[in-house]
A and B are shown apart, each in its own frame.
Chain A
């Protein structure tokens, strides 16, 4: 008699435990549904509710990851990174540890805290446990280099082991189109206006050249005619001003053109590239 009662009691207790766990599973699916529908704010509420009642931390990892992903989708990158770190802390195996770190790195890429992304990815890269995931790590290192404007280095990474030929070709073509900022600047030191011509800014190049010739003539002329004071004034206020303006402009134009080129590529990557993006 007593034996039977105990048995029944145990069954009921197990049933209760299972049903509790079932409730949490239901809550997880509900929150997940909201996440999949793109209702990120509400999804976070429901994941938080799940965490609140999940006293055994069964769902800590998944819920932290999905809260992080929700914040990432809302471009709340600081919060996203915090929750990915919480996910990393609640990870139960290497796979989960790896995934949370990759998400953290991808969010850092988007937040343009690229050195942090680089550090996270490099730490994963040297970890022997993740030897088999080398390609995935390098793929994101490549993306990080793109966001750092290092198109040449990025193309090399994508080319290794044929990681992604589309991206590597794109990076090479961007790098080919880029103007050399130093060449633009220093060539203008030698011949005023040259850097402007190099970057296709002909009118500005001509103006710079004319001003420098004119100011140079005035300065030299003043000294020849022994008007030292006039010479110093024109050298200081005309020659130097337009000479330094000329090199500043050459550098500025190269930077501006490069920005246009990289922005065009970034725009393509964001809206037309079909592969995985940060």
Chain B
């Protein structure tokens, strides 16, 4: 009788016991991987999820692998993994918008535009997200912009204001003209640099050119021919160098305008997480 009970207990408890101690069982591998994933230890989580996938076929896991790659900015692997999720999966729509984000980050422009339009026209759950990402990308990368009101339609009111400003900046960038800068400095030394808002350099250029012109003048007046010519050469050097420098300064000014514009929009995109949805994997 006692033997029977013993065997019964072993039979009942064995599976429980097995689960408890085999920390390399698929279920425990997944548990550990989930922990790593939520601890932002994505590369390790990916390795564990891959082990799990060898035994169990699961789209959520495949999606999390892809998301992990995307989060550690390995976009080529992310693209590959997201693309492996087929349209019967519950996470198919999410994977498509994530692919769009990865394409945007990996600068694959033609594929990006193709998919974005595809998503917008397919009336998917995330059509509006795709439209927002597409519009922001157009603002960032393209020269031809659609009509402002049409452009702003998909966005929420706060974003409308911000992107409206960026839109205006794109249409009328506050550039400084290289020609104007050059001509100004040719007329009054240093004024070109003041026009490009390099005030200190502009004033310095004016003083240096003025000083050497004055020195050349007084030396010629006192019949110091050699010194006169040396100062003339130096004065001419500063004069011409300043005209050149004013053109360069305008170019740098404009490059900064572009830099700030791009940087601002990129920060906006990051802030919005490229309009991808939030997931509750780590609740």
Indicate whether B1 reaches chain A with its CB closer than 8 angstroms.
Answer: yes
By a CB distance below 8 angstroms, the chain B residues around A8 are 2, 5-6, 9
By a CB distance below 8 angstroms, the chain B residues around A27 are 23
Q: State how many angstroms separate the Cβ of B45 from the closest Cβ of chain A.
A: 10
Indicate whether A240 reaches chain B with its CB closer than 8 angstroms.
Answer: no
Known contacts A12-B13, A16-B17, A45-B44; is-contact A5 B5 (Cβ 8 Å): yes
A48 vs B33: C-alpha distance in the bound complex, in angstroms? 11
Chain B residue nearest in CB terms to A50:
B23
By a CB distance below 8 angstroms, the chain A residues around B1 are 1
Known contacts A16-B17, A45-B44, A48-B44; is-contact A23 B22 (Cβ 8 Å): yes
Total A-B residue pairs with C-beta atoms closer than 8 Å? 44
A16 vs B20: C-alpha distance in the bound complex, in angstroms? 9
By a CB distance below 8 angstroms, the chain B residues around A19 are 17, 21
Interface digits, B43-60 against A, CB 8 Å rule (1 contact, 0 not)? 010011000000000000
Interface digits, A30-66 against B, CB 8 Å rule (1 contact, 0 not)? 0000000000000011001100110000000000000
Q: Verify B23–A49 contact, CB threshold 8 A.
A: yes
Indicate whether B28 reaches chain A with its CB closer than 8 angstroms.
Answer: yes
Q: State how many angstroms separate the Cβ of A217 from the closest Cβ of chain B.
A: 22
- In the complex, how many residues of chain B place their beta carbon closer than 8 angstroms to a beta carbon of chain A? 21
Contact of A45 among B13, B23, B47 (CB under 8 A): B47
By a CB distance below 8 angstroms, the chain B residues around A5 are 2, 5
By a CB distance below 8 angstroms, the chain B residues around A1 are 1-2
Most B Cβ at <10 Å: residue of A23, A44, A49, A52: A49
Q: Verify A53–B36 contact, CB threshold 8 A.
A: no
Interface digits, B1-39 against A, CB 8 Å rule (1 contact, 0 not)? 110011001100100010011110000100110011000
Indicate whether A119 reaches chain B with its CB closer than 8 angstroms.
Answer: no
Indicate whether A241 reaches chain B with its CB closer than 8 angstroms.
Answer: no
A9 vs B9: C-alpha distance in the bound complex, in angstroms? 8
| B99-118 at interface with A (beta carbon < 8 Å) | none
Q: State how many angstroms separate the Cβ of A233 from the closest Cβ of chain B.
A: 12
Known contacts A45-B47, A48-B44, A53-B28; is-contact A12 B23 (Cβ 8 Å): no
- Chain A interface residue number, banded: 10 to 19
By a CB distance below 8 angstroms, the chain B residues around A126 are none
A24 vs B22: C-alpha distance in the bound complex, in angstroms? 10
Known contacts A5-B5, A12-B10, A23-B23; is-contact A49 B32 (Cβ 8 Å): yes
Q: State how many angstroms separate the Cβ of A63 from the closest Cβ of chain B.
A: 13
Indicate whether A115 reaches chain B with its CB closer than 8 angstroms.
Answer: no
Q: State how many angstroms separate the Cβ of B210 from the closest Cβ of chain A.
A: 18
A49 vs B44: C-alpha distance in the bound complex, in angstroms? 11
Interface digits, A64-108 against B, CB 8 Å rule (1 contact, 0 not)? 000000000000000000000000000000000000000000000
Contact of A53 among B2, B6, B13, B23 (CB under 8 A): B23
A49 vs B45: C-alpha distance in the bound complex, in angstroms? 11
Which residues of B pack against A, CB within 8 Å?
A: 1-2, 5-6, 9-10, 13, 17, 20-23, 28, 31-32, 35-36, 41, 44, 47-48
Q: What are the 7 closest A-B residue pairs judged by CB atoms, nearest first?
A: A23-B21, A53-B23, A4-B2, A20-B21, A16-B17, A45-B44, A52-B32
